């Protein structure tokens, strides 16, 4: 099933969810390591920054595609057993994750634009600059980029805890229907 139904995620939504989740995990580790280490090997540090920026732009593109796909598809309903405020919280968390998935790479792009240091996407072509170089903007955006990264980590902890609670405590199909290996469960509908 390519598209989502009222009860199940199609494979495009599942593939995008896990591809982006994995890439973001790599990016957080890469971001923390490259900014805190490699001071004795400046060539490696610069290479890691270029990889971080290149992968980040790919993530931004995938997130935009994912958002378009989500808007063009039905969103599977949560189990009827959940209370209205629980659905509200789940929805708010998902909106928050989408906002962060856009705001983090955009703040990165702004900070890279404000820097005088050039960015070469995968060594192929220069990243277009959104704004002209400005050290104050670069510093502010670096701060914003870092803080939003920590906010994402906190929201992710809640997101993962909620997914595990659905699976192990409530024993519904909410986690299973987002897993690539559970196509059978995804297509059989609720519970």
Residues forming contacts to ligand HEM in the complex (CB under 6 A) are 13, 17, 21, 24, 27-28, 31-32, 35, 49, 52-53, 56-57, 59-60, 70, 76, 78, 90, 94, 97-98, 101, 104-105, 108-109, 111-112, 127, 142, 145-146, 149, 156, 159-160, 163, 174-175, 177-178
Alpha-carbon torsion, ordered 188, 71, 96, 54, to 10 deg: 100
Q: At which residue do the structure tokens 């509908």 appear?
A: 189
- 17 or 185: whose CB is closer to ligand HEM? 17
- 94 or 185: whose CB is closer to ligand HEM? 94
Instruction: Name the minimum Å distance from CB 83 to ligand HEM.
Output: 15
Instruction: Name the minimum Å distance from CB 59 to ligand HEM.
Output: 4
Instruction: Name the minimum Å distance from CB 181 to ligand HEM.
Output: 13
Q: At which residue do the structure tokens 């240091």 appear?
A: 117
- 11 or 98: whose CB is closer to ligand HEM? 98
Cα 144 to Cα 85, 109, 137: the distances in Å are 30, 12, 10
Instruction: Name the minimum Å distance from CB 102 to ligand HEM.
Output: 9
Instruction: Name the minimum Å distance from CB 132 to ligand HEM.
Output: 16
Is 56 in contact with 108 (CB distance < 8 Å)?
Answer: yes
Residue 173 burial (CB < 10 Å; 0-12/13-18/19+)?
buried
Is 16 in contact with 62 (CB distance < 8 Å)?
Answer: yes
Task: Quote the CA–CA distance of 105 and 145 in Å, as a whole number.
Answer: 8
Residue 76 burial (CB < 10 Å; 0-12/13-18/19+)?
buried
């Amino acid at each position: 099933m390519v598209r989502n139904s009222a009860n199940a995620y199609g494979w495009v939504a599942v593939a995008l969810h896990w591809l982006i989740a994995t890439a973001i995990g790599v990016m957080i580790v890469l971001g923390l390591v490259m900014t805190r280490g490699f001071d004795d090997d400046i060539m490696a540090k610069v290479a890691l920054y270029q990889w971080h920026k290149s992968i980040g732009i790919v993530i931004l593109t995938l997130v935009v595609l994912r958002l378009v796909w989500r808007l063009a598809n039905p969103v599977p309903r949560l189990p009827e057993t959940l209370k209205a405020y629980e659905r509200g919280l789940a929805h708010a968390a998902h909106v928050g994750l989408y906002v962060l998935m856009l705001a983090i790479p955009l703040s990165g792009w702004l900070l890279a634009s404000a820097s005088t240091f050039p960015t070469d996407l995968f060594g192929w072509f220069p990243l277009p600059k959104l704004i002209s170089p400005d050290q104050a903007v670069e510093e502010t955006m670096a701060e914003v980029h870092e803080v939003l990264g920590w906010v994402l980590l906190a929201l992710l902890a809640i997101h993962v805890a909620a997914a595990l609670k659905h699976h192990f405590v409530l024993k519904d199909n909410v986690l299973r229907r987002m897993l690539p290996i559970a196509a059978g469960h995804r297509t059989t509908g609720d519970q």
